[in-house]
Amino acid sequence: MRNFINLKDISAKNLRKILNDAKKRKNRRKKLSTIDVDKDHPLKGKLLIQMYEKPSSRTRLSFHISINQLGASSITVKANELHLGKGGESLADTAKILSTYGDGFLLRTDSDKKIDDFSKNLKIPIINLLSPSSHPCQVLSDIFTIEEIKKKPISKLNICWIGDCNNVLNSLIAASVKFNFNLNIGCPKNYSPPKFVMNWVKKNKRRVNVFNDPKKAAKNADVVFSDKVFSLNDKGNKSKKIEDFKNYRIDTKLMRVTRADSIFLHCLPRGNEVSEEVFLGERSRVWQQALNRVHVQKSILLYSFGKLR
């Protein structure tokens, strides 16, 4: 049993194994429909419990499909429907109950501490569906999408992030260390990645490049990523933050400094950080990106159950 909480805590070898497995499984499903179960139904008989403390469209639906395709069952609960959410039951007792009924727990939360506390109290694996500090399923799946489109290892590509230094970027930074790729970040001065993240990069003898000029960050990029300026866990002044990012919008003009065959990715939902032309344009691969979450998350689940081949 293995948790999947943060990319930085998983070995590069295991992350690569997850991607290889996802590729094989995706290829084998070409003739199957969304609800068909994989022929080997590797998680038959298992119950996965998903809990959301924050809104979700893609993660909730794609995990439901991933779980079904593995032959397992899922139940989705909202935190405020449980006694835990209303403060009427401790986390330790809730974890005991989850471990009694379920085989795996998938959690989207606004508290990194809660994931940590659950991981200490559960007897079943926990998977992080997005926390204030990371979004590991999203980013691992995005690496898969990039390699699928570019048909080469991500270590041979220039990856660029324009936007807020948030949970998705933290996971992308962790991925840049694990998969050894070049990462440029374009953000305003006061929005650089947190010190603990940069220190971790340094400790691992890698570097990411931070620019306060979006054009410099995007120059020669093979892939440009962005995300909402104001995340679900943001509590500050929304209009001020959006104003601070006004020169970091991804538009056709900015995409011109990237490589001729560059692509645009966005985890969604989107805000005003990308123009309609780029988001719906020929370089955008956002729908393929969303779909691939189904495939990669299956292999993440198999990793957690020690069933990766």
Binding-site ranges for ligand NVA (CB under 6 A): 130, 135, 166-168, 227-228, 231-233, 267
Which residue in the set 34, 57, 199, 247 belongs to the binding site for ligand CP (CB under 6 A)?
Answer: 57
Are 22 and 153 within 8 A, CB to CB?
no
Instruction: Say what angle helices 12-28 and 167-178 make with each other, to 10 degrees.
Output: 100
- Does residue 268 belong to the site contacting ligand CP (CB under 6 A)? yes
Are 129 and 6 within 8 A, CB to CB?
no
Which residue in the set 3, 6, 56, 304 belongs to the binding site for ligand CP (CB under 6 A)?
Answer: 56
H/E stretch holding 49 reads strand 47-52
Selection from ligand NVA, ligand CP, none that 167 binds (CB < 5 to 8 A by kind) is ligand NVA
Instruction: Say what angle helices 91-101 and 112-121 make with each other, to 10 degrees.
Output: 60
CA neighbours within 13 Å on the CB side: how many for 309?
Answer: 7
Selection from ligand NVA, ligand CP, none that 299 binds (CB < 5 to 8 A by kind) is none
- Does residue 167 belong to the site contacting ligand CP (CB under 6 A)? no
* Nearest distance in Å: CB 39, ligand CP: 28
Which pair of structure tokens corresponds to residue 21? Answer: 């497995």
* Nearest distance in Å: CB 55, ligand CP: 6
Question: Exposure pattern of 261-282 as b/e (b: 16+ CB <10 Å)?
Answer: ebbbbbbeeeeebbbeebbeee
Residues in 92-131 that interact with ligand CP by CB under 6 A: 130
* Nearest distance in Å: CB 198, ligand CP: 24
The window from 7-15, 30-38, 53-61, 252-260 that contacts ligand CP (CB under 6 A) reads 53-61
* Nearest distance in Å: CB 54, ligand NVA: 8
- Does residue 171 belong to the site contacting ligand CP (CB under 6 A)? no
* Nearest distance in Å: CB 89, ligand NVA: 27
Please choose, from the candidates 114, 35, 88, the residue with its C-alpha nearest in 3D space to the C-alpha of residue 105: 114
Strand partners, 250: 274
Selection from ligand CP, ligand NVA, none that 57 binds (CB < 5 to 8 A by kind) is ligand CP
Q: Output 158 or 297, the one with its CB closest to ligand CP.
A: 297
Task: Reply yes or no: is the peptide bond before residue 136 cis, omega within 30 of 0.
Answer: no
Q: With DSSP H G I counted as helix, E B as strand and the rest as coil, what are the percentages for the chain, rounded to 5?
A: 45, 15, 40
Which pair of structure tokens corresponds to residue 270? Answer: 């989107």
- Does residue 138 belong to the site contacting ligand CP (CB under 6 A)? yes
- Does residue 34 belong to the site contacting ligand CP (CB under 6 A)? no
| Residue 15: strand, helix, or coil | helix
Q: What residue ranges bind ligand CP (CB under 6 A)?
A: 56-59, 130, 138, 267-268
